[in-house]
Structure 1
Amino acid sequence: MKRIVMLLAGLGALGAALPAAPQTVVKIAFAGPLTGPIAHVGKDEEYGTRLALDDANAKGVTIAGQKVRFELMSEDDQGDPRQATVVAQRIADAGVKGVVGHVTSGAAIPAASIYEQAGIPAITPSATSPKLTQQGFKAIFRVIANDNQQGEAMAKYTANVLKARTVAIIDDRTAYGQGLGDTLADNLKKLGVQVVAREYTTDKAVDFTALLTRIKSKQPDAIFYGGMDAQGAPMLKQIKQLGLNVKFLAGDGVCTSEMLKLAAPALGPQVYCTQAGLPVDKMPGGAEFKARFKQRFNAEVQLYAPYAYDATNALIEAMKLANSVEPAKYLPQLQKVSLKGVTGTVAFDAKGDNRNGGITLNQFGDGKWQVLN
């Protein structure tokens, strides 16, 4: 009996020493502004990416006969085009298998050529400039609508519903802000609305008194700002201080929960913004995502965290279709992905744009952004 017990004990010790089942570690990179004035937008999308990887690891994914464990590599591009290329090269050199990012169009456009050359698929949750997917690259994708759609939607609402006949346009000279301003101007002119002023600032400015004073003399019905909330909030406050009785219009860079905090005293029903895609409360899986996001990160969804979540899952879905985590093998499968995600169905066209992009128009009221259309 003693000999049997010793034998069993020995077998137990041997079993404890057996190596774990083979596991493949797959790095997915996130790239966006994690410091600076729009870090809240970058962190929002980084959290969405992280939540998707956590979910995949919890469920367990097996590819090519091996269990896969996903790891996140986060890189801060500061929303700066020059820093974005440095970050993109660092990501490519690290041997990552896919990229979620970049957040801004100004960063995503120059970074795209580096990912294309390296053959690494990159899916942006929020870079809306049409130029991104007009470069003819095979590795670049977008899960959000683009600025052509935003500009057209805002122009139609401005002309047909708000009945504005004159509009002043300001942009921050980034690829995103200027592109959105240009698209809006083109669409307004088609609808017979006069653009009475076209002013420029930067994505670092906080004092807009001089340009707003010039605009005041033109007496526009509305002012449109193409840029982010870090500039949109002080601009709106200064519009109030100067006594401009105008509608304030903006794109999705201003359509954030942070804008509601930054511009609180100046917000009112005269403030409108477009949002590429749907607000989280209107998404098919939005309510559940919002609750899990809050529980996991103790933070509210700013804007495009659900799109980062779906972008990450699109990469993983393509890997499953290809039965490979190698970019060269799964990249072609991204064109075949049809993913029912939090935001809706994600499927890409030949350029890499989401076939199911849409635009939401919002107005400020009762302390929050309210969906108009």
Structure 2
Amino acid sequence: MRFISKPIAFAIALTVASGAGAQQIVKIGHVGPVSGPNSHLGKDNENAARMAIDELNAKGFTINGQKVTLQLLAEDDASDPKQGTAVAQKLVDAKVNGVVGHLNSGTSVPASRIYHNAGLVQVSPATTATQFTKQKFPGVFRVVANDAKLGGTLGKYAVETLKVKNIAVIDDRTTYGQGVAAEFAKAAKGPGVRIVDKQFTSATATDFTAILTAIRAKKPDLVFFGGMDAVAGPMLKQMKALGINARFMGGDGMCTTALGRLAGDAVGEDKVVCAEAGGVKGAQEQVMTDFRNRFKQKTGLEVQLYAPYVYDSVMVMAAAMQKAKSAEPAKYLPELKKIKYEGVTGTIQFDPSGDILDGALTLYTYKGGKRTRMDVIR
């Protein structure tokens, strides 16, 4: 996911104090939209980063046999590309050793060049834009499936399983929204299947009357939205008010526990189908349940969306540092490239481009206003 591209800036800055007898400090920065329409996701991710760091410190984290203390530095990018790049440069100037983030593709992609030019490693827990890893920066990684898989899977599901014929597509003009919508449209092919309309809005819009009225005239079976839950919720309400009874589909940006609250009764019963990058099955489900319980015990809050992937992003970077016996990016990068880490979200391994190997997707719908899992597919 994903935002303004997609979906929370994270940064993991790591600097180790040197000098004989000096206590070693590893500074881990977190950047996310803790203000603005996506603040519920940003706070969720920041809490997960803090949880990972606290747990590592409690266990006595060491690098090359020496105990180090991890410190979290939290910043806000407000899902804004300019603010995201400003924060990225701030972390570079602070001489950090690594970055976990961002959530939004629109902040993560431009920030990635700044990190690359500084020789930093970046692991994103949520960026899904295909462009992110196509840049071929050696230090760029992601722990979730990309938009090609996300949008493509939804496109095939709409045609092959839901059997829709007339489809309208809306995107929010962000890197994430446009990307996932384009991949969906590319895959939504079949006998008699038509894209009857394409419209766009913005990531901060609240009135969709004009575009929805135009779509209503085309009588779609399904409306696909590329964007975030803060826009999808009000859009669903306005679809209901206009008498548009089509199914509603979207990617991970809108596939949150908050959507039911944001859409109210307009979310319907089995009306919405969405996919979240990631997901677990079988024995791994208990691992995820344990994480969710620990997260709620520590924060008093339910996991919103990407917290488990943020947690794993911190942990996999820390594991690579331990294997390399160094927090220097140039030294732990080779270990990260070949790592096989068993995390909360499953096995984490990367392909040569930095994409997660065999990334999973979870399909959801909403029943009684609550997000309900349908299936996990790979």
Normalised to the residue count of structure 2, the TM-score between the two structures is: 0.90
Query: Residues of 1 paired with 2:292 and 2:171: CA distance?
Result: 31
Q: How does 1:1-373 map to 2 (within 5 A)?
A: 22-189=22-189, 193-268=193-268, 269-278=270-279, 283=285, 285-373=287-375
Give 1:274 deviation, angstroms.
0.9
Give 1:189 deviation, angstroms.
3.1
Give 1:259 deviation, angstroms.
1.1
Give 1:28 deviation, angstroms.
1.4
**What is the aligned partner in structure 1 of residue 11 from structure 2?**
none
Q: Is the 8 A contact 2:280 2:360 kept in 1?
A: no
* Distance verdict in 2 for CA 1:75–1:191, change over 3 Å: farther
Q: Which moved more, 1:229-238 or 1:150-159?
A: 150-159
Q: C-alpha deviations, 1:179-228, integer Å up to 9, x for none?
A: 00000111113675211111011001010011000000011111011000
Q: C-alpha deviations, 1:63-121, integer Å up to 9, x for none?
A: 13421111111111111111111110001111222211101000100000011111111
Query: Residues of 1 paired with 2:189 and 2:249: CA distance?
Result: 16
Give 1:321 deviation, angstroms.
0.8
Percent identity, aligned pairs only? 47
User: What is the alpha-carbon root mean square deviation over aligned residues?
Assistant: 1.7
Query: Residues of 2 paired with 1:88 and 1:285: CA distance?
Result: 33
* Distance verdict in 2 for CA 1:192–1:330, change over 3 Å: farther
Secondary structure of 1:218's counterpart equals coil
Give 1:237 deviation, angstroms.
0.2
Query: Residues of 2 paired with 1:366 and 1:356: CA distance?
Result: 32
Q: Is the 8 A contact 1:50 1:72 kept in 2?
A: yes
Q: Which moved more, 1:22-31 or 1:347-356?
A: 22-31
Q: Is the 8 A contact 1:255 1:274 kept in 2?
A: yes
Q: C-alpha deviations, 1:140-198, integer Å up to 9, x for none?
A: 11000111111121111111111100100000000000000000111113675211111
Query: Residues of 2 paired with 1:279 and 1:94: CA distance?
Result: 37
Q: C-alpha deviations, 1:202-261, integer Å up to 9, x for none?
A: 001010011000000011111011000110000000000000110011111111111121
Q: Is the 8 A contact 2:159 2:190 kept in 1?
A: no
Q: Which moved more, 1:301-310 or 1:55-64?
A: 55-64
* Distance verdict in 2 for CA 1:140–1:270, change over 3 Å: same
Normalised to the residue count of structure 1, the TM-score between the two structures is: 0.92
Q: Which moved more, 1:353-362 or 1:171-180?
A: 353-362
Query: Residues of 1 paired with 2:29 and 2:140: CA distance?
Result: 14
Q: Which moved more, 1:228-237 or 1:362-371?
A: 362-371
Secondary structure of 2:309's counterpart equals helix
Query: Residues of 2 paired with 1:69 and 1:312: CA distance?
Result: 14
* Distance verdict in 2 for CA 1:181–1:65, change over 3 Å: same
Give 1:320 deviation, angstroms.
0.5
State the aligned residue count. 354
Secondary structure of 1:180's counterpart equals helix
Matched to 2:273, the amino acid is Y
Q: Is the 8 A contact 1:156 1:191 kept in 2?
A: no
Give 1:280 deviation, angstroms.
10
* Distance verdict in 2 for CA 1:232–1:355, change over 3 Å: same
Secondary structure of 1:275's counterpart equals strand
Query: Residues of 2 paired with 1:279 and 1:362: CA distance?
Result: 13
Q: Is the 8 A contact 1:271 1:364 kept in 2?
A: yes
Q: C-alpha deviations, 1:313-349, integer Å up to 9, x for none?
A: 0110110111011112112211121110000011111
Matched to 1:49, the amino acid is A
Query: Residues of 2 paired with 1:191 and 1:346: CA distance?
Result: 38
Give 1:22 deviation, angstroms.
4.8
Alignment gaps of 5+ in structure 2: 1-19
Give 1:296 deviation, angstroms.
0.8
Give 1:271 deviation, angstroms.
1.1
Give 1:366 deviation, angstroms.
3.2
* Distance verdict in 2 for CA 1:228–1:308, change over 3 Å: same
Q: Is the 8 A contact 2:280 2:346 kept in 1?
A: no
Q: Is the 8 A contact 2:130 2:148 kept in 1?
A: yes
Query: Residues of 1 paired with 2:104 and 2:364: CA distance?
Result: 21
Which structure is larger by alpha-carbon Rg, 1 or 2?
1
Secondary structure of 1:371's counterpart equals strand
Secondary structure of 2:258's counterpart equals helix
Give 1:24 deviation, angstroms.
0.7
Query: Residues of 2 paired with 1:279 and 1:209: CA distance?
Result: 38
Q: C-alpha deviations, 1:23-60, integer Å up to 9, x for none?
A: 21011121221100001111111111111111110001
